[in-house]
């Protein structure tokens, strides 16, 4: 049996001479090289200098369901540019604030930075890029529905249709308007907070929505487990 691909584990990449040796060995055998476990831009640039053929790792994305991967492949050039600027995965989890007002985003950042890594978006493309990159690692989205550049209702609708993929609570914000609030709730928003509002109230409502989502997921997992156990019982 002949092989035409050689895997290189990136964990040894810090040992430059060893990496160069493996790359040279692969070339002498006319083999292609795949580097696994790339987690930083520096590692990627170094492998590019060495002439590595293919790379994979958390620098690009964590393992994801097929639906998330398909969404990633459908990103346009603008969204791909945004993806390259996003931070790496964080153990704290993420919270997205989508609002055109930088001052408001800064307030939200200060309110939640002790609990989450706060990601900011001022347009629809950035929100979609964040969703595709981080998926269900996003704990919640605070979404302003009254800004045309965000197209908040389109985002809400997309989340509702993809709830099996992205089950993320959305706290909708906007003016005190019953029609706007009603439409937001119909499209699946977890809550609606009229502006202006206290950040303490926003935090309380957001954390409550996150807790309810986690409880619902836990209950669903238990039902699936119970159903699986029931099917496994002898007749």
Domain that holds residue 143: 66-221
Whether residue 183 contacts residue 156, with contact meaning beta carbons closer than 8 Å, is answered with no
29 occurs within a structural domain: yes
**Phi/psi at 96 (nearest 5 deg)?**
-105, 130
Mark whether 98 and 184 lie in a shared domain. Answer: yes
Mark whether 121 and 33 lie in a shared domain. Answer: no
Q: Which helix (H) or strand (E) holds 9?
A: strand 5-9
Q: 103-118: string of b/e by CB count within 10 Å (b at 16+)? A: ebbeebbebbeeebbb
Provide the mean pLDDT of the chain: 77
Number of structural domains, the chain? 2
Q: Where are the alpha helices (DSSP H) in 60-101?
A: 66-73, 77-85
**Phi/psi at 29 (nearest 5 deg)?**
-100, 10
Q: Which residue has the higher pLDDT, 3 or 113?
A: 113
**Taking Cα atoms as reference points, which of 36, 77, 30 lies closest to residue 60?**
36
Mark whether 11 and 105 lie in a shared domain. Answer: no
Mark whether 35 and 95 lie in a shared domain. Answer: no
What average pLDDT does range 75-79 have in this prediction? 51
Mark whether 138 and 201 lie in a shared domain. Answer: yes
- In this prediction, residue 73 has a pLDDT band, given cuts at 50, 70 and 90, of low
Q: What is the pLDDT of residues 95-151, one digit of tens each?
A: 999 999 999 999 999 999 999 999 999 988 888 888 877 777 889 999 999 877 767
pLDDT computed for residue 166 by the predictor: 62
d(CA 205, CA 225): 30
- In this prediction, residue 51 has a pLDDT band, given cuts at 50, 70 and 90, of confident
Q: What is the pLDDT of residues 178-206, one digit of tens each?
A: 999 999 999 889 999 999 999 999 999 99
Point out which residues pair with 121 in neighbouring strands.
Answer: 98
End-to-end CA separation in angstroms for the chain: 47
d(CA 171, CA 140): 7
Q: Determine if the pTM surpasses 0.95.
A: no
- In this prediction, residue 220 has a pLDDT band, given cuts at 50, 70 and 90, of confident
Here the CATH number for the domain that contains residue 129 is 3.40.50.2300
């Amino acid at each position: 049996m002949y092989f035409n691909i050689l895997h290189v584990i990136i964990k040894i990449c810090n040992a430059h001479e060893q990496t160069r040796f493996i790359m040279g060995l692969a070339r002498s055998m006319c083999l292609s090289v795949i580097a696994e476990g790339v987690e930083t831009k520096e590692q990627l640039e170094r492998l590019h200098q060495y002439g590595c053929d293919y790379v994979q790792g958390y620098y690009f994305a964590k393992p994801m369901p097929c639906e998330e991967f398909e969404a990633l492949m459908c990103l346009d050039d603008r969204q791909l540019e945004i993806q390259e600027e996003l931070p790496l995965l964080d153990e704290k989890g993420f919270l997205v604030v989508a609002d055109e007002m930088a001052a408001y985003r800064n307030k939200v950042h200060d309110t939640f930075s002790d609990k989450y890594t706060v990601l900011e978006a001022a347009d629809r493309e950035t929100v979609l890029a964040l969703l595709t990159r981080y998926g269900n690692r996003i704990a919640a989205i605070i979404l302003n529905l009254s800004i045309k550049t965000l197209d908040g209702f389109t985002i809400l609708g997309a989340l509702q249709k993809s709830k099996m993929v992205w089950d993320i609570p959305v706290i909708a914000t906007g003016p005190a308007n019953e029609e706007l609030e009603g439409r937001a709730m119909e499209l699946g928003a977890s809550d609606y907070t009229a502006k202006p509002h206290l950040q303490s109230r926003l935090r309380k409502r957001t954390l409550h929505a996150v807790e309810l989502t986690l409880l619902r997921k836990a209950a669903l997992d238990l039902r699936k487990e119970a159903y699986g156990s029931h099917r496994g019982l002898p007749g």
